[in-house]
Structure 1
Amino acid sequence: MKIAQVAPLYESVPPLAYGATERVVSYLTEELVRRGHDVTLFASADSTTRARLVPVCERGLWRDAGVWDTLTHHVRQLARVAHLAHEFDVVHFHGDPLHFPLADSLPIASLTTLHGQLLPVDHGPLFREFAAAPLVSISNDQRGPVPWANWRGTVYHGLPLDEFEVQPEPGSYLLFLGRMMPGKRPDLAVEIARRAGWPLRMAAKVHPGERDYFSQQIEPLLKQSAHFTDYLGEVGGGLRRALIANARALLFPVEWPEPFGMVMIEAMACGTPVIAFRRGAVPEVLEHGVNGFIVDGVDEAVDAVANIARIDRVACRRSFEARFTAERMASDYLSIYEGLLEDRRAAAQPPVAHYSMYGR
């Protein structure tokens, strides 16, 4: 199959550090190539892939100090997709739905995976306007605000089996990893660690729009708790993998409808249990008592830390292998691609003329 993957341009594919969407696009692209498909990746020029790379900008836009308007680069990306569309069987878009008017007129099948939170006031009118646009959700919970949209399936994220290694004997710290934003409640991670009596390591990106939140709400808290909190900033590569693998537990005290939570399955792949608030897709991803604990508030999270040794880290890894591999993710997407192509073939068939013994 000839497949185009269209990634957001904010980070390289895969990203240097933070960037769950770009990481998923990379895992999917490489697995499709491994299976022998002809894959083209539209992404930033600093991306690394075995697929054919169509570079759109020099580097991930958030890594380029000279870039101010990221929209202009994504418009150029769509122009390149349109120019090359005749070479593909299916084009798979990821990220913001800027491409909907274009995809409507492409001569090939298209699919959109939505990686963020959906809002009925914003996405509802959009999905009604483009009612034929095939969509994939990354969790069933993500669909909640617009359950009537043209969903072709839910595909959970997946990781290559060898991306993370199990660490049977963890270190003596808790971990908060991801992004410094109000909905992820890094302040509650600090409170949980303090009350549980465990050191906390925090590795998190601060986006430009969240700098005030970080400086006004989180930095003072970090200074007050410096005796047990180690803030590392944004991390990637081997350091990031080691932090996850050696953590006693990952804290995920989200208070927004997290559509998936990539870091949860990264922790599971290391055998590191997750302590997460019951929000968004958490109950779909975690199995309470198997690969972590699903809790309702700080008090239960503190109790979960005290009982974290009850989680078998090898069993935690097995739960990842059963549900969240890149192989399974690619198989799910290939089934959806085939369904889209079958629909197009059926639509292209001429209508069957019906005759009777008395004539037409």
Structure 2
Amino acid sequence: MRIAQVAPLAESVPPKLYGGTERVVSWLTEKLVERGHDVSLFASGDSITSARLIKCAPQGLRLSGMRDHIASHLVMLDNVLRRIDDFDIVHFHVDLLQYPVFRAHAARCLTTLHGRLDLPDYHPVYQHFSEMPLVSISNAQRKPMPANVNWLATIHHGMPDPGLYRAEGGDYLLFLGRICPEKGPVRAIEIAKRAGVPLKIAAKVDPADQHYFDTIVKPLLDHPLIEFIGEVDDHGKFGLLAGARALLFPIDWPEPFGLVMIESMSVGTPVLAWHNGSVPEILRDGVTGVIVNTLDEAVLAVDSARKLDRAGVRRHFENNFTVSHMAAKYEQAYEALLTTKAKVVPIAAE
């Protein structure tokens, strides 16, 4: 198939540091090329890929300091539209702007929604452009959406094996990702202190969350059990994950997927997570981690997580969340579009 992958321009593909969506786009793109497809990647110019790279910005916009990305994305979408006849499938990983531009080409387009869908502000777009095929990244992500949305599939993320599986965990807990209230860094710190176990925090601070970090989180870091590392690259991330006793995922929002959960499972490290959003869909409670509802439960779960079989954690990843699993599901979704060429007939959700 001739496939266009249209990535967000905030980060390169793959991202140099933080960037979940761009990382997934990279994994999918490389696997589709490996499986023999003719793939074009619309992304920033500093992206690295074995596909045909169509440069739509000199570099990832976040690290370049550009705050408003709308204009750059509109130019990218026009570049895709001018090449529309070169592709059998156009796969968007951007949220909103493509719908009015590509409405006439709905039969060859699909959009994977990577973010939260519980905010009603965006629902009018999904209701109005209801013929546009959508892919959810968890069944939980779908729940708040309007009834007339044209779901094509639910396809869980999958990733390559980082090759860092460890049969034994370390002596610290890990909080990994982004500092913001809904990710629960304050909960993570409280869990570590009450459990008496060291906590490493490897997380970026966006400008929008700087005040929260400075006023709420930073004062809590002055404790012998807490180490703030900051934003790390892939090598640093997987090294920290592999050496951890458990990953803390104390979220306070309807997480649409939670890529860090499968990253943790890929190296055999169990996840201690709050029962929100996709968590019970991605984790197996008592097998790949411990799912809790309260801080007291979380403190007790620190010891429970240590006793879990890391080989079983790793096995769940291998059976469900590899990049090969993800690519095969997307191929099925692409074939559904090519077969119908009209109103999409939904395929079974995961």
Q: Where on the TM-score scale, by shorter chain, does this alignment land: which range?
A: over 0.9
Q: Is structure 2 residue 254 aligned with structure 1 residue 245?
A: no
Structural mapping, 1:186-335, within 5 Å? 186-223=185-222, 225=223, 227-335=224-332
Asked if structure 1 preserves the Cα contact closer than 8 Å seen for 2:127 and 2:146, the reply is no
Asked if structure 2 preserves the Cα contact closer than 8 Å seen for 1:123 and 1:146, the reply is no
How far did 1:146 drift?
Answer: 1.0
Match of 2:14 in 1: 14
Match of 1:356 in 2: none
Distance 1:298 1:164, change over 3 A: farther
Taking the aligned partners of 1:120 and 1:69, their CA distance within structure 2 comes to 20
Give CA-to-partner distance per residue, 1:100-147, whole Å, 9 cap, x none.
111202386000000111136223211111010100000001111115
Runs of 4+ residues over 6 Å off in structure 1: none
Match of 2:79 in 1: 80
Structure 1 stretches lacking a partner, 5+ long: 348-360
How far did 1:163 drift?
Answer: 2.2
Sequence identity (%)? 51
Count of residues paired in the alignment: 343
Asked if structure 2 preserves the Cα contact closer than 8 Å seen for 1:88 and 1:108, the reply is no
Select the structure of larger CA radius of gyration: 1
Q: What is the alpha-carbon root mean square deviation over aligned residues?
A: 1.4
Taking the aligned partners of 1:345 and 1:126, their CA distance within structure 2 comes to 20
Asked if structure 1 preserves the Cα contact closer than 8 Å seen for 2:255 and 2:276, the reply is yes
Asked if structure 1 preserves the Cα contact closer than 8 Å seen for 2:164 and 2:239, the reply is no
The one-letter amino acid paired with 1:318 is R
Distance 1:346 1:57, change over 3 A: closer
Structure 2 SS opposite 1:307: helix
How far did 1:310 drift?
Answer: 2.1
The one-letter amino acid paired with 2:83 is L
Per mean C-alpha deviation after superposition, the further-off stretch among 95-104 and 243-252 is 95-104
When the two structures are superposed, what TM-score results if normalisation uses the length of structure 2? 0.95
Structure 2 stretches lacking a partner, 5+ long: 345-350
Give CA-to-partner distance per residue, 1:24-62, whole Å, 9 cap, x none.
101100110000000000000111110000011111100
Give CA-to-partner distance per residue, 1:198-234, whole Å, 9 cap, x none.
10000111111111111111111112x2x11110110
Asked if structure 2 preserves the Cα contact closer than 8 Å seen for 1:164 and 1:241, the reply is no
How far did 1:169 drift?
Answer: 2.0
The one-letter amino acid paired with 1:229 is I
